[in-house]
Chain A
Amino acid sequence: GQQLNQSPQSMFIQEGEDVSMNCTSSSIFNTWLWYKQDPGEGPVLLIALYKAGELTSNGRLTAQFGITRKDSFLNISASIPSDVGIYFCAGQAGYALNFGKGTSLLVTP
């Protein structure tokens, strides 16, 4: 599959801080998606982006589809303890999704 480079690999932050993570690829994608995985569960869709340049918000989460179609970022504002988990970016060019390796987020009260 097409490789997605997701960074950072992990983050350890204090409650209330803002968080930013990003994903890049050498390939162009038609759709970018961001998922969150809680411990012991499957990933859950947070935000889907369908057009280059698109900026979309979902509560405290904001994500953008890069102009080049080869990158995307996710921001979380005013983090809270329940934001803990692994965040995955995913890009779609062919039939199935290609996933990044994930960003592990830890939030201390």
Chain B
Amino acid sequence: AQKITQTQPGMFVQEKEAVTLDCTYDTSDPSYGLFWYKQPSSGEMIFLIYQGSYDQQNATEGRYSLNFQKARKSANLVISASQLGDSAMYFCAMRGLTTDSWGKLQFGAGTQVVVTP
């Protein structure tokens, strides 16, 4: 069984500041992938960043970076230099990398981020 926990329902962040969104997970799969998605008010889920459990280094994609601490089972998303367009709902998701887990992306409850001028 897999479980994703996002404990921050909402956050305010000032423009140009960095923000960290928390994500903890639990899984029995020996290998797994962690994903972060952004959902603006328009509804579309936008893929941001991926971290494999086997990756030695933390993933980075532009202003997004993932603080992956495997022993703590956490995969926090860091958004640097926040922009007004970053205001959205952010979801952490996980998928096991076994055949049985194929396609079964499990999502957390999400964190609403509001960027203020």
A and B form one complex: no
User: Taking beta carbons and an 8 Å cutoff, which residues of A are in contact with B?
Assistant: none
User: Taking beta carbons and an 8 Å cutoff, which residues of B are in contact with A?
Assistant: none
